[in-house]
Amino acid sequence: MVRAEDSDKLFSKRKAIMALLPYMVWQERDGQPEMFYMLQRAAGVSRTLEFTWHHVEQFAITLLSKATPRAIVLASPHIPWSSLAISRDLVRKWAAATSAVSYTEEVAQSVVNTLLWIASLNRLSPHITADVWLWLKRQPQLPPVCLGRRFGTSPEAVKVVRGLKDIEVLKSYLLIVWSEWSTLWDDGSKEICASIREDFCGIGMGCHRADLIQRLDDVLGQLDRELEYLQQHSPGLRKRSVNSIRHRYRQLRGTLLDVDAKAIARTSSYYPMVLPFCVLIQVGICRISCNGDIYVCASSPMSIISCLEPSFPTTASLVRRV
């Protein structure tokens, strides 16, 4: 047997491994997944992102039509999605498999890894079904070296996630792709900065901004470690590259802090207002019935559902009982 640390030897055995792949798939369907999982582990220790799957592009469609949902999901990060041989129907089959498989951390990791790669491909991303995007909320930790991480911060991927108009999915996406192992794309970084200014600028977004700032603090802390720490998964990484990566993450953090400071300034600029009884105040997505009590609202705009004029502005936050 070749040990896990012998990645070069494992890669050299690719022909033998791929010759057994159809047999492994059929075994997995019959409830004997051991050989298939062994292939997964072999792919995991290889430093070559595509491992052996680019040698079997013609077999990819057959694999996704014959394998079980779990096998499809686990194999999907190693299928050459950027190949022109991959069709939109294949994306739909993969999406259907993600809906049929039970959650485990390994499954979530494979789904999100593949999802971020497909999201960067304009030809295929429109065919990702809505339920697949919800896997981002699981926030699995991606492998340090994977194609989802490589392409996950491309401007195409950022734009697709922003276009979903789901702030929880967007925040989860950022928490996943921000990592010391992710080298941000220049155009992708600019798109993320625009997202911070436009999507996370509201007064009610304070908790989301706090989570994102904490994540960036963690990433910057890891980037400040010795170069040898980062080279364990990226042997070719040099100090100059690390400085460039660190600079982009600091830019993102600075943008968040600037947006947060402006939101706080807007909050403090409004005068407190004492509201009459029998009103319903909408705070974010929560509704609070006053039932005769008096509340003070320290922010604006506010949506008050009841006896106030219908032309009153529409979002409220920071409600304090007096």
| Same domain membership, residue 156 and residue 14 | yes
More confident residue, 16 or 218: 218
* Residue 2 included in any domain: no
| Same domain membership, residue 227 and residue 168 | yes
Domain total of the chain = 2
Of 102-111, 171-180, 241-250, 259-268, least confident by mean pLDDT is: 259-268
**Boundaries of domain holding 221:** 7-268
Predicted pLDDT of residue 268: 76
| Same domain membership, residue 181 and residue 95 | yes
| Same domain membership, residue 176 and residue 46 | yes
Predicted pLDDT of residue 175: 98
Last residue of a domain, one of 250, 268, 286: 268
pLDDT tens-digit readout, 156-212: 999 999 999 999 999 999 999 999 999 899 999 999 999 999 999 988 999 999 999
Predicted pLDDT of residue 71: 84
* Residue 201 included in any domain: yes
| Same domain membership, residue 196 and residue 172 | yes
| Same domain membership, residue 242 and residue 306 | no
| Same domain membership, residue 209 and residue 167 | yes
| Same domain membership, residue 209 and residue 96 | yes
Query: Per residue, what are the HEC states of the chain?
Result: CCCCCCHHHHHHCHHHHHHHHHHHHHHHHCCCCHHHHHHHHHHHHCCCCCCCHHHHHHHHHHHHHHCCHHHHHHHHHHCCCCCCCCCHHHHHHHHHHHHHCCCCHHHHHHHHHHHHHHHCCCCCHHHCCHHHHHHHHHCCCCCCCCHHHHHCCCHHHHHHHHCCCCHHHHHHHHHHHCCCCCCCCHHHHHHHHHHHHHHCCCHHHHHHHHHHHHHHHHHHHHHCCCHHHHHCCCCCCCHHHHHHHHHHHHHHHHHHHHHHHHHHHHHHCCCCEECCCCEEEEECCEEEECCCCCEEECCCCCEEEECCCCCCCCCECCEEEC
| Same domain membership, residue 242 and residue 283 | no
pLDDT tens-digit readout, 113-167: 999 999 999 999 999 999 999 999 999 999 898 899 999 999 999 999 999 999 9
